Structure 1
């Protein structure tokens, strides 16, 4: 599974309920798109601007569309700009893909017969193996020492930026978690350019989520 699918599974519990707010889920997925393109060596972040490295197909519709949008844009935009743009519709498409693959179900209902509610429980009533494997990989990274694989480091950046780490590692000492996440962030697990790009995307997710939450409060 790619980062978008793993992040979506981690952001929901066994009953299909979000464990972080929808704004953070959306911005996390926007960032996950960028991180997948970074890991695929299809974009760079130079002088805090996202730059495409070719437009050939990757083989994933979401990633191909995102890359083509970046390549076709006449402006060199900041990561936070692309994170914001990629929030729209991405969550729905990732969930629909997971449902089509038999990992989740899309369960629609109403609360008090009035308010719509959508949940994404496991398709067969058992914990999805992909979620369990992602959780185990993350916990091994936090409880271990030294560098981790680039894809795991990118997933750590995602859960940290969206505060999902508080849910996943709720039973582990908070200071240890934060210290280890910082070590992973700054560790020697990939080329310096890749680490820097992931750090820039992580900061963009955080900034975008905070800005969207603040705007929602002001308008309410």
Structure 2
């Protein structure tokens, strides 16, 4: 499969080696929608102007989900990231998983729990952690445990993991205080173009409102 998108990597992190999902909904869907927006900012297709997503270049990037998102944004007026996170998140987890299955990164297994309840899992074809996930985890761990510059894609993935409150699981083997401090530095750091940093900031804020606040009040 071609190089994975941020959404692909986030899904791989969200599923364990047995193919079971460990990051709940709607957090995962919102995180994936945020990943699309950040990916489009990295590709210099969108910017965040006055806290609204604005299209800079409607030219497709050659990845179906990204191009579909870009077309929807281009056909509308500038709107806040929270609007697009809500709109784009619908059925997005299934679509990203379908792409990973089609690319041979994951496989789909369907069975029944207690012979009654249907269950769908998405393990790797060889039964071990996909190489792409291993690479993503290694890049993120290196970013957390060092104090040097972080490449934009890894920094963006770290910021997305933090936004969906999944960093405890991804960095479970590292000291919590170190992780939190370093994630803050990475999320706010001068590691990418201004447009990408603004996208990350707005996406993080929108996901926090969409996911964390309702959970706290329930």
Q: Distance in 2 between matches of 1:78 and 1:54?
A: 18
Given candidates 199, 203, 217, the residue that maps to 1:197 is 199
| SS at structure 1 position matched to 2:47 | strand
Q: Distance in 2 between matches of 1:211 and 1:80?
A: 14
Correspondence for 2:149: 147
Q: After superposing the two structures, state which structure 1 stretch, 164-173 or 112-121, moved more.
A: 112-121
User: 1:23 touches 1:213 (CA, 8 Å); kept in 2?
Assistant: no
Correspondence for 1:100: 102
Q: TM-score, normalization: structure 1?
A: 0.92
| SS at structure 2 position matched to 1:22 | coil
How far did residue 211 of structure 1 move? 5.7
List 4+ stretches of structure 1 deviating above 4 A.
Answer: 211-215
Correspondence for 1:28: 31
Root-mean-square deviation over aligned CA pairs: 1.6
Return closer, same or farther for 1:195/1:166 CA change in 2, 3 Å cut-off: same
Within 5 Å, give how 1:59-138 maps onto structure 2: 59-73=62-76, 75-138=77-140
Q: Distance in 2 between matches of 1:205 and 1:81?
A: 11
| SS at structure 1 position matched to 2:26 | helix
How far did residue 214 of structure 1 move? 7.2
Correspondence for 1:46: 49
User: 2:44 touches 2:57 (CA, 8 Å); kept in 1?
Assistant: no
Given candidates 34, 40, 55, the residue that maps to 1:37 is 40
User: 2:41 touches 2:196 (CA, 8 Å); kept in 1?
Assistant: yes
1:20-76 superposed Cα distances (whole Å, 9 cap, x missing partner): 212211111111111110101101111111111122121111111100100101x32
1:114-134 superposed Cα distances (whole Å, 9 cap, x missing partner): 322211111121221000000
How far did residue 210 of structure 1 move? 3.2
How far did residue 12 of structure 1 move? 0.7
User: 1:38 touches 1:198 (CA, 8 Å); kept in 2?
Assistant: no
Q: Distance in 1 between matches of 2:102 and 2:59?
A: 26
Given candidates 2, 7, 22, the residue that maps to 2:5 is 2
Runs of 5+ consecutive residues of structure 1 not aligned to the other structure: none
Q: After superposing the two structures, state which structure 1 stretch, 183-192 or 168-177, moved more.
A: 183-192
Q: TM-score, normalization: structure 2?
A: 0.93
Q: After superposing the two structures, state which structure 1 stretch, 205-214 or 140-149, moved more.
A: 205-214
